[in-house]
Amino acid sequence: MERTSLHRYATRPGLFLTEDGGADAVVWSETADQLWLSVIEPLDSPSAFYNTATQLPNDSVIPFHEQIAMFPVCSRIVEGRYCRETLFKMEGPNYGMWYVHIPRAWDGMRYGYRASGTWDPRRGVQFNPYKILLDPYAKGIDGKMDIAPEAFSYQCTVQNGRVHGSAYGSMSMLDNLGHTPLSVVIDDRDVHKHEGDPQHPHIPWSKTVIYELHVKGFTKNAPWMEPELRGTYAGLAHPTTIAYLQNLGITSVELLPIFAKQTEIGIAERGLTNYWGYSTLGYFAPDPDYATEEARRKGPAAVRKEVIDMVRALHAGGIEVLLDVVFNHTCEGGIDGPTVCWRGLDAVSYYRRRTDNPGMLIDTTGCGNTFDFTNTRVINYAVDSLRYWSKRIGVDGFRFDLAPTLARLEGTFSKHHPFLYALRSDLMLGNLKMIMEPWDLGEGGWRTGQFGVPFAEWNDHFRDSTRRFWLTDVDSQHRGFNNEIGMQEMATRLCGSADLFATDPGRGAVASINFVSCHDGFTLTDLTRYDRKHNEANGENNQDGNNTNHSFNFGEEGPSDDPAVEARRERAAMNMIGTLLMSLGTPMLLAGDEFRNTQDGNNNAYCQDNDINWLHWEWLFSPEKTPEMRRLEHTTKLIALRKSLDLYHHEEFFTVLSMLGLLKPSSRVQWLLPNGTTPMERDWFDTSVRCFAMRLLANDEYDVVIVINGLDRHVDFMLPDDCEWRMLWSSAETNGRQPRHVSELPKEDADDGTDETAGSVLYPDKPNDSVWTLTIPDGDTPIHQALKAARHHRLAEVLRAQGDHAGDGDANGVHIDDIRTNDAGSDVAATPPPASDMAHGPVNGMRNGTAAAPAAAKSRTTGVKSTPATGSVTGTDDARHRQAPTMNASSDGAANDPWRIDGLSISLFRQIR
């Protein structure tokens, strides 16, 4: 084969179809002796290279790697795999790059690379020509890796899923063809491919509300779509799915990794899978596991098309798509892991190694290997991948897993790392949303707030302080210990964490991604149900996951039948959601937190591809107001309130740090104690001061006041008397209460000093309290069928609870099949269940992992906690014998009349004049 010149694409890695019907293949390897491009064709089809390739005999005594070195193009029949392999010897290296032009190439062509060179694992060199390797730039991937001896470069055996052998031993001469995935060509030359694309939403940071979800977990149990769409990209693009997201009010979905993945050996040995997807197999190919069966059958191009259609559908619905990306490590794991791509091409250049022992990998990820981002080629590789996903797939931004690993120079984090500059300066990427997870497992790995403009970062300080204030400090109050989080810390987090993020000129509060829970740790509901993790299902003897969760079970581990316990738990959950959505910064919700999702105490469910992780939706079609519906209503209302207030639609700090590191007061925020006075210096440093208000002063609209009562008793609070105030929302509403003027309280409630929250019921029914399912029109639709099945099942549960058998009538002659239709055409149970019989939904558990920051060690002293020196504080502990008074929908009143604020609550007020 003659090749006189390379095509214009030959300076960049990848496989590029050319106008002559062939392709240029370019791959990077600085240390290989020789590389081959391998094309795999089915044996029962004519070969495209019949007149080009030399046929290799099957019975030759010459070793395979010596045979292929003898010819520029050769082919062989692999009968056991019913395929033909044609190998093209590549030219190079030229500045580390290898090239070849092949005369024929087509959409859907399966291919890979083989590499030969020195075998010296103790020096980090592990070339093995018997292993076909993925193209790092492959846009499509076909197949999975088998856990078999063929998957490893060194000689080993596999018994019961366990690998036995030494990575420093002899080279394996077992061919891995048929045991490993292959690269697949996708023709991207269509000049019309972007025609008809909807415009990107381009949501400003100041108006962004992020919703973290797993594509499969979010839709796997969704009853509103056809079964074949559940758990898929197409399911996330379903109109009802998008309508749910719109109704919730979020602006951006952050998807857990959807790059092609490979389950690690250790997880597979336990019969589990890497469900979260933080084990990347290909950085350009989407994971086929989340595609519909039809798309998988059609091949990688159809899988990618489904992803593109999903992104376009979300864009059409006004929702941004952010991807969680994992550039810190690969699925190949440690030195004894399999060889699927990077290790076989150039392990020395791709992975960081110890300078004193190059046979050992540096691991700052906890996953066995670490990409070497001091190598320019690795930086180019990551940037090329990100540009592809943003330009071709159309996503709006990225969240970088274990981001300090990507910015280590000589092992030490630097905000001036070339990779970070490459992201900032790229004309496309620099205008996208880029979010850093600012910690890894290496030395000095906790770097919250240190990435600089234009990066946003997950704020673990907000997460931990919010949990501790509303959960563990509440536990401390009950036990008689001192609190750890006071007004100063909470005020700092409410104002956007200027202590962490006011580090660069122009960097504002929106750089703080505020969250209380994420995929990696407890769900919001489980934070209030469990004091400790319950990860036995992971097969690691409950040793995995984080032990520092700042959770509180309110006296009972796991689900509870005690209404008082459930009421306190729900109040605490809404306190945390309220804090999240009322704080300056960019809020992020975990999917399912808005409707009490739980994971059975598993706080590290990375390997649970089952009901532990899949969201449950049966409550959605209940004819009653369930606790899940109540939580959803409150969360939706809070998001709507946040989006309606221009006070949150800005990026600057209300309180900032100057470049000299000195506190600069702001005219946009005021702080108040319950008696209406400004806190003194001693108040800021007194952690027993847990009652305060934050007034946000507007320029062209009404002010708002956020009132926090962190005491387990009510407080009478004087709001500013220069105007009147209206209560917009309060977490006390979860118990049928809300702030009221003291003068409006019934006489017996005004000054009896009782604790008004201890005995409150969870979400009491209100007059004319209905659910949206009562208005669903009749018809043969997935939603209607799901609704009918849910009601049928619900009525059966009620009748059984009354002592009847399924299929029998109740004491009044009501049969579980006795369903009537109301005027709107929706199904209604002939005898509705009693209001007290409320479904609590399935119980699933918690998450946890590397994301939790270690809490600073603090001593606790015994003794009764003192109340603030200022403010009107009244109350004792118990009112379980009392019935909560009926509350009006809203209360306005005289400016000099104090408001009664329930214990352990957060409330939002707006100026009315």
Residues serving a catalytic function are: 401, 437
Residue 628 Cα distances to 191, 385, 770, angstroms: 48, 40, 14
What letters, b where the CB count within 10 A reaches 16 and e where it falls short, cover 860-884? eeeeebebbebbbbbbeeebeebeb
Number of helices (H), then strands (E), in the chain: 20, 40
- β-strand pairing of 899-901 with 715-717: antiparallel
- Transcribe 425-468 into DSSP letters: H-TTGGGSEEEE--B-SSTT-B-TT-S-TT-EEEEHHHHHHHHI
For residues 232 and 219, the answer to whether their CB atoms sit within 8 Å is yes
* Phi and psi angles of residue 210, each rounded to the nearest 5 degrees, phi first: -90, 145
H-helix or E-strand containing 413? strand 412-413
CA 444/CA 412 separation, integer angstroms: 7
With tokens 């998450």, the residue in question is: 847
CA 702/CA 798 separation, integer angstroms: 48
| One-letter-per-residue 3-state SS of 74-104 | EEEEEHHHCEEEEEEECEEEECCEEEEEECC
CA 361/CA 355 separation, integer angstroms: 10
Q: Decide: residue 857, CB within 10 A, 0-12 exposed, 13-18 middle, 19+ buried.
A: exposed
Residue 74 Cα distances to 15, 98, 430, angstroms: 20, 18, 45
* Phi and psi angles of residue 456, each rounded to the nearest 5 degrees, phi first: -95, 160
Structure tokens at 183: 């690269």
Residue positions counted in the chain = 913
With tokens 């917009």, the residue in question is: 728
Structure tokens at 282: 């290909």
Sign of the torsion formed by the C-alpha atoms of 281, 283, 284 and 287: positive
Residue 591 Ramachandran class (φ > 0 left, ψ -120 to 50 alpha, else beta): beta
Residue 164 Cα distances to 9, 153, 167, 550, 701, angstroms: 43, 13, 10, 41, 69
- β-strand pairing of 157-159 with 162-164: antiparallel
Q: Decide: residue 498, CB within 10 A, 0-12 exposed, 13-18 middle, 19+ buried.
A: buried
Q: Where are the beta strands (DSSP E) in 218-333?
A: 252-255, 259-261, 280-286, 320-325
Q: Of 86, 140, 102, which Cα lies nearest the Cα of 23?
A: 102
With tokens 């992971």, the residue in question is: 538
What letters, b where the CB count within 10 A reaches 16 and e where it falls short, cover 90-101? bebbeebbbbbb
- β-strand pairing of 433-436 with 456-459: parallel
H-helix or E-strand containing 692? strand 691-696
Cβ count within 10 A of residue 1 = 13
CA 606/CA 652 separation, integer angstroms: 36
Residue 169 Cα distances to 31, 82, 129, angstroms: 20, 31, 16
CA 343/CA 640 separation, integer angstroms: 50
With tokens 């320019």, the residue in question is: 376
